[in-house]
């Protein structure tokens, strides 16, 4: 049983939850102008994790025939036999049901939007077969987290949360684009659409930089529109430095891509959340 849990943890890359969790809490703290309560904290965590589990497991299920031919992914539990296709389907269904039920218990709007959110989360895995805009779809998948957080607290979508969503969208699309540099040869061989495989590595890096410029612009608009203060602008400045460092690592050596992807982006969301908390307290 413990081994099976480890296999599913590896399947959905559980540690990657660090990318979306801080931003749903930033949205909830900003919407409430402070602490939003333990009930929404627990519901927010469960909703985020179940949505991620659904999205990642669906991606692994849909991409089995591609992952088995990619040296970087051929040892995943979804392709080496540790988790069966039927096991993945059950896991996908269970997490979808959990996500919808959490939405039902929060408020009616959360329940209604849970269904289109699941469609968006599943769409990413299929888009790479016919368009290089799959990077933006992945960004939207994580960008919907703060929108869902705001709806959980307020029951509607204020403008500032849209700016926060767009910032997350371009942030995720930008670093996913850099991460996909590792798979250029494989994507070309399999006929998969990604910006690096279509436009080449150097243009992909340039597009990623443009995406991250948009990230800073939209997060700045979020801070301004939400009437947040100095400490959030300091957090924004640190985020800009972190993204600059990420691009420096990748430009210096493509072997630094995992470090840039996991370490820099993992800390970025946490730091932004910490400064959001400090801003609202002080």
Digit-coded pLDDT (tens) for 60-93: 899 888 888 888 888 888 888 888 999 999 999 9
Is residue 199 over pLDDT 70?
Answer: yes
Is residue 124 over pLDDT 90?
Answer: no
CA 7 vs CA 74, 77, 221, 260: distances in Å: 14, 6, 41, 25
Of the chain, the percentage scoring pLDDT greater than 90 comes to 57
Average pLDDT in the 138-146 region? 92
Domain hosting 197: range is 2-281
**Which are the contacts of 133, defined by CB distance < 8 A and separation ≥ 6?**
127
Of the chain, the percentage scoring pLDDT greater than 70 comes to 98
Calpha distance 244→238 (Å, rounded): 10
Calpha distance 116→107 (Å, rounded): 16
Token pair recorded at residue 203: 């243009």
44 with 114: CB under 8 angstroms?
no
Total domains, the chain:
1
Token pair recorded at residue 197: 């495989």
Looking at every residue in the chain, the average pLDDT score rounds to: 90
Question: What backbone phi and psi angles, to 5 degrees, belong to 24?
Answer: -70, -35
Query: Positive or negative, the Cα torsion across 79, 81, 82, 85?
Result: positive
Residue reference for tokens 């436009």: 199
What pLDDT is recorded for position 11? 78
Q: Using alpha carbons, select from 5, 30, 76, 20 the residue that is nearest to residue 51.
A: 20
Residue reference for tokens 């890359």: 13
* Helix%, strand%, coil% for the chain, nearest 5: 85, 0, 15
Calpha distance 191→61 (Å, rounded): 18
Calpha distance 32→270 (Å, rounded): 19
Average pLDDT in the 184-205 region? 88
Alpha-carbon radius of gyration of the chain: 19
Question: What backbone phi and psi angles, to 5 degrees, belong to 46?
Answer: -65, -45
Residue reference for tokens 């910032």: 167
Identify the CATH number of the domain in which residue 251 sits: 1.10.357.140
Higher-confidence position of 244 and 10 = 244
Question: What backbone phi and psi angles, to 5 degrees, belong to 177?
Answer: -65, -40
138 with 153: CB under 8 angstroms?
no
Is residue 148 over pLDDT 90?
Answer: yes
Is residue 15 over pLDDT 80?
Answer: no
Average pLDDT in the 107-132 region? 91
What pLDDT is recorded for position 16? 67
pTM above 0.85, yes or no: yes
Average pLDDT in the 205-230 region? 96
Calpha distance 61→50 (Å, rounded): 16
What pLDDT is recorded for position 276? 93
Query: Positive or negative, the Cα torsion across 53, 170, 181, 132?
Result: positive
Is residue 49 over pLDDT 70?
Answer: yes
Average pLDDT in the 14-22 region? 75
CA 176 vs CA 38, 56, 134, 183: distances in Å: 32, 14, 10, 11
Calpha distance 183→192 (Å, rounded): 10
């Amino acid at each position: 049983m413990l081994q099976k849990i480890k296999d599913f943890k590896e399947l959905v890359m559980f540690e990657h939850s660090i990318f979306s969790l801080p931003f749903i809490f930033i949205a909830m703290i900003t919407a409430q102008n402070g602490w939003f309560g333990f009930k929404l904290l627990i519901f927010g965590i469960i909703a985020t994790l179940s949505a991620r589990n659904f999205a990642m497991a669906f991606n692994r299920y849909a991409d089995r025939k591609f992952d088995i031919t990619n040296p970087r992914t051929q040892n995943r539990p979804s392709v080496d036999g540790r988790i069966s296709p039927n096991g993945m389907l059950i896991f996908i269904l269970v997490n979808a049901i959990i996500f919808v039920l959490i939405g039902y218990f929060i408020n009616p709007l959360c329940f209604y939007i849970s269904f289109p959110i699941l469609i968006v989360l599943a769409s990413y895995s299929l888009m790479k077969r016919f368009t290089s805009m799959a990077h933006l779809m992945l960004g939207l998948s994580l960008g919907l987290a703060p929108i869902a957080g705001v709806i959980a607290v307020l029951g509607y979508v204020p403008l500032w949360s849209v700016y926060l969503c767009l910032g997350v969208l371009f942030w995720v699309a930008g670093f996913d684009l850099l991460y996909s540099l590792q798979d250029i040869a494989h994507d070309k061989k399999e006929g998969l659409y990604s910006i690096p495989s279509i436009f080449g590595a150097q243009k992909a890096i340039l597009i990623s930089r443009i995406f991250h410029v948009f990230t800073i612009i939209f997060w700045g608009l979020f801070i301004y529109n939400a009437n947040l203060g100095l400490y959030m602008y300091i957090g924004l400045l640190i985020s800009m430095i972190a993204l600059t460092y990420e691009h420096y690592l990748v430009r210096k050596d493509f072997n630094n891509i995992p470090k840039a992807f996991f370490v820099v982006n993992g800390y970025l969301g946490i730091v932004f959340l910490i400064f959001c908390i400090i801003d609202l307290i002080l």
